[in-house]
Amino acid sequence: MIKNEKLMTKRIAVIASGRGSNFQAVINAIAARKIPAVCAALITDNPKAYAIERAKKAHIPVRVIDYHSFPSREVYERALFSAMQRLDPDLFVLAGYMRIVGNEIVRAFNGRMINIHPALLPSFTGLHAQQQAIVHGVKVAGCTVHFVDESLDGGPIILQHCVPVLDSDDEDTLAERILHYEHICLPEAIRLFCEERLVIDGRKVIVR
């Protein structure tokens, strides 16, 4: 039994920019053995990200690639790509990474990179998705975990979860309600990937 568990164990790496609450949800799920994986590293573009403290507490190596220390986005992307190549995990998890991933990186890790987004894609891509939902007047919002492709938040969808939009909601209250389910959906999607149960079939992701 132990031998089989070792064979199933995957290496993941998380890329985050901020407080890292989704990163913490992943850490907790791995610690509880709900995900057959180890977290090999946290990569962050923000040296002040609270996600760094979460990684340190969990004894996860941290690689800081400070976006503002580079003369251009292109130079930053090359440094990020190099760090990702050196790590070369089974899966990269974008958990609150607040930058668009360059096409070279996306192509290199095709099918090995997922993202969590606080909207029911394909609606409300990009930043401030919760505010977009409120302005549009939708009655239902939610979160989506998807594979990353060269489009903006447009890759094949793995999991989604709906939440109601209340008349009294503002961006913050809706974001908080959605975040609760982000913490459930992201670890679940990672688990399915690590158990090799996800098959990309064109636009669809089939769960075996």
Amino acid at 194: C
Measure CA 158 to chain center.
Answer: 12
The sign one gets for the Cα dihedral 149, 27, 44, 16 is positive
Largest CA distance in the chain: 53
Catalytic residue list: 117
Contact 131, 119 (CB under 8 A): no
Q: What does the alpha-carbon distance between residue 188 and residue 196 come to, in Å, rounded to a whole number? A: 12
Question: What is the SS3 assignment for 139?
Answer: coil
Please name the residues in contact with 28: beta carbons below 8 A apart, sequence gap of 6 or more. 187
